[in-house]
Amino acid sequence: MTNPTGNLLKINLTAEKWESVPYPPDMECRLLWGRSANILHLYRLPATPADPLDSNNPLILSCGLLTGLNIPTATRVHINALSPITGIIGSSNIGGDFGVKLSRAGVGTLIIDGAAETPVYLLITENGCEIRDANFLWGLDTRETMKKLKTVAGLERAGAITIGPAGENGVPFACIVSDEDHAAGRTGMGAVMGSKKLKAVVAVPGSAAKKAVVGPDVREAVNAYVRRILESGDYQTFKRFGSSGYVQWADERRLMSSYNFKERTFDAAEDIDGRKLGPFVRKSRGCPGCPVQCKAELNFKGPRFAGETAFRPEFEPMLNLGPKCGLKDPETLVYLDNLCTRLGLDSTSTAGVLAFAMDLYESGLLTGEDSGGMELRWGDGEVMGEVIRMISDRSGLGRILSLGVRGAAEEIGGPAKDYAAHVKGLELSAYHPAGAPGTALGYAVSSRGGDYNNVYASLEHRWSAEKAKDVFGTARAVDPESEEGKGRLIARAVIVNVVIDSLGLCKAPALSLIGDFDLEYEARIVSAVLKKTVSAVDLMTVGKRVADMERLINFRMNPDVKNDLPSMFFKDQDSPVSEKRFQRMLSDFYDVMGYDREGRPDEQKVNEWLNNTA
């Protein structure tokens, strides 16, 4: 069996050398691609890098098994390295057309070691790799970089990823951007690129690249998958408004993280809901071949956009830059989200440090002297924009905030830590833990830290009580007021998410629109593509073992790594996430996953699985 996504390309920037080799057969027989391929490589490293910004921290990018095969929603690339913001596994995922072009250039996995002496970018073709001078790109924002690359590398045919000034300056939560508005946002992979003096990676598809997997079995499996997407009750909403059209939905369910998690609703939720952006939509867009096309270009007349196209934010930045920071103006919200993308900043972590700073200012723990005279008032968009630029430059107050809420709280000292909403050093995403106890558990056990998309427990809101009882043994697994069954629910979500990231599928259609979390449709597609029987159980087994490897890697990087929530969420003992109830959920999760009381997997079982499937 041959890996349909291509070869493994190894690049050493220090030595200015590259090597293209076939995908190792022992990886192929385990169905390890995408996120799984990256984790296997990290698991087998002889030594853990000491510093995420050292040149010996490998940056690994892998196409999913299905990426680039003309299978709708299969466009994703997974990116891993040691994270500068958490010190454990850095993990992020990106859509757009880069993955498709990288796959069609004959590359399945890209491993980048070392660091260049001066800025470079990579040009990848079916013939290999060129390491090119990027001094003319250094200092440009991500949009300017894309425009420049079009003039020198034929980007009209190619796909590219790039970093902005934040990545160049080593901001620990800098992101990687593709196609102007797609971002591998979380855990600071842009800072790792910047530390390697790597400004961009450009992939040019080959002239003879395989662009489709043909055959009646493939067509039948893919058509069944697409039908499930189109028949979803949320399909039309996603198509018209993207994920941004669910702001008011989140408010009605009291899921908001308003004012740095002080409140669970927001009085301007309706005003900033993506539905209100409808009159400004100039064109819908999305990833190649996807039937949803959930992104949109917006046309605002205000001077902030200076005649340039604006891009509609996703659900997370709408809630994070909006309610979490007290911002009520939708145009300002769009501007700040687009500013983060251009500078190459993760909007979730950026909003987290902004809300943290505003909370400290309101509480008197940050003063005008600390902020350089700025008044850090809730919802002040002008000040938010100024601080965002300072974070990217690492200047003034931005130097402290660029450390993330954990690092900033340590530097500020005193009770500042009580205002820092993070898990494992990663700022929490949009949902309030008290409104979604399953998601709260997901924050705590996620291998990359406090994040929703790494676990993506949408079944907590989508599934009926009847289905929850049938699958998890209790209808209360989907009850937002109960901790019962949440360990089983999150265990399922963790495993399924690993598989979706390994196949290269987008989670919005797979887990928000279809939302079955049983991998039956995905197994049919994989079986048809590989021309061998692969069951949903087979995929679940891979997902479970890769999740185990991620936890074992984290324990190597930090023997004291915790699966916990900030104490700020344990004050209300009647809450579904009171400390006592949270510990019950956590114990349940450990039991289902077969972990010890510290959350550690059985390493011997993982190694036996690797050896037995070689």
pLDDT of residue 315: 96
Position 226 in a domain: no
CA within 13 Å, CB half, 499: 28
Whole-angstrom distance, CA of residue 178 vs CA of residue 401 = 25
SS3 111: strand
Return the CATH number at 539.
1.10.599.10
Q: Answer for the pair 159, 239: CB distance below 8 angstroms, yes or no.
A: no
> Do 36 and 175 belong to one domain?
yes
> Do 257 and 370 belong to one domain?
yes
Residue 588 has pLDDT above 80, yes or no: yes
Average pLDDT over residues 410-424: 97
> Do 411 and 446 belong to one domain?
no
| Number of neighbouring beta carbons within 10 Å of residue 455 | 24
Angle between helices 579-593 and 486-503 (to 10 degrees): 50
> Do 285 and 364 belong to one domain?
yes
Q: Answer for the pair 205, 101: CB distance below 8 angstroms, yes or no.
A: yes
Return the CATH number at 259.
1.10.569.10
> Do 511 and 561 belong to one domain?
yes
Please report which confidence band the pLDDT of residue 209 belongs to, taking 50, 70 and 90 as the band edges: low
pLDDT tens-digit profile of 321-330?
Answer: 999 999 999 9
Q: Answer for the pair 351, 324: CB distance below 8 angstroms, yes or no.
A: yes
Q: Answer for the pair 217, 67: CB distance below 8 angstroms, yes or no.
A: no
Q: Sheet holding 310-311: strands in order across? A: 281-285, 295-298, 310-311
Q: Answer for the pair 18, 10: CB distance below 8 angstroms, yes or no.
A: yes
pLDDT of residue 572: 74
Residue 230 has pLDDT above 80, yes or no: yes
> Do 333 and 455 belong to one domain?
no
Whole-angstrom distance, CA of residue 381 vs CA of residue 327 = 7
> Do 373 and 455 belong to one domain?
no
Nearest residue to 569 via CA among 473, 428, 409, 402: 428
Element (H, E) at 176: strand 176-178
Position 217 in a domain: no
pLDDT tens-digit profile of 107-153?
Answer: 999 999 999 999 999 999 999 999 999 999 999 999 999 999 988 86
DSSP codes joined into one string, 449-516? SS-STTT--THHHHS-HHHHHHHHS-GGGG-TT--TTHHHHHHHHHHHHHHHHHHTB-HIIIIIII--
**Two tokens, residue 224:** 């069944």
Q: Answer for the pair 124, 99: CB distance below 8 angstroms, yes or no.
A: no
What sign results for the dihedral spanned by CA atoms 249, 186, 75, 456? negative
Position 209 in a domain: no
SS3 340: helix
**Which residue range forms the structural domain that includes residue 267?**
242-420
Position 77 in a domain: yes
Element (H, E) at 94: strand 89-94
Residue 210 has pLDDT above 70, yes or no: no
pLDDT tens-digit profile of 143-177?
Answer: 999 999 988 866 778 999 999 999 999 999 999 99
Average pLDDT over residues 547-566: 95
Q: Which amino acid is at 549?
A: M
> Do 441 and 549 belong to one domain?
yes
pLDDT tens-digit profile of 89-103?
Answer: 999 999 999 999 999
Angle at the Cα of 185 from the Cα atoms of 179 and 188, rounded to 5 degrees: 120
Higher pLDDT, 546 or 30: 546
Average pLDDT over residues 245-255: 97
- Per DSSP, 24 falls in state P
pLDDT of residue 214: 64
Phi, psi angles (nearest 5°) of residue 125? -130, 180
Q: Answer for the pair 38, 90: CB distance below 8 angstroms, yes or no.
A: no
What value does the CA radius of gyration of the chain take, rounded to a whole number of Å?
Answer: 22
Whole-angstrom distance, CA of residue 210 vs CA of residue 325 = 47
> Do 483 and 608 belong to one domain?
yes
DSSP codes joined into one string, 222-266? HHHHHHHHHTSTTHHHHHHHGGGGGHHHHHHTT---HHHHTBS--
pLDDT tens-digit profile of 350-399?
Answer: 999 999 999 999 999 999 999 999 999 999 999 999 999 999 999 999 99
Return the CATH number at 116.
3.60.9.10
Position 19 in a domain: yes
> Do 138 and 286 belong to one domain?
no
Nearest residue to 316 via CA among 506, 186, 483, 164: 186
Tokens 């994920």 -> residue: 243
Last residue of a domain, one of 394, 420, 446: 420
Nearest residue to 513 via CA among 228, 146, 262: 228
Please report which confidence band the pLDDT of residue 576 belongs to, taking 50, 70 and 90 as the band edges: confident
Cβ neighbours of residue 600 closer than 8 Å, sequence gap 6 or more: 551, 552, 555
The strand pair at 182-184 and 176-178 is best described as antiparallel
Position 560 in a domain: yes
Cβ neighbours of residue 57 closer than 8 Å, sequence gap 6 or more: 49, 51, 81, 82, 192, 195
Angle between helices 486-503 and 437-445 (to 10 degrees): 60
**Two tokens, residue 371:** 């902020």
Indicate the number of domains in the chain. 3
Last residue of a domain, one of 203, 233, 266: 203
Element (H, E) at 41: helix 34-43
Position 219 in a domain: no
Position 1 in a domain: no
Whole-angstrom distance, CA of residue 293 vs CA of residue 279 = 17
pTM over 0.75: yes
Q: Sheet holding 176-178: strands in order across? A: 128-133, 120-125, 198-203, 159-162, 176-178, 182-184
Please report which confidence band the pLDDT of residue 2 belongs to, taking 50, 70 and 90 as the band edges: very low
> Do 169 and 59 belong to one domain?
yes
> Do 60 and 180 belong to one domain?
yes
Last residue of a domain, one of 392, 420, 448: 420
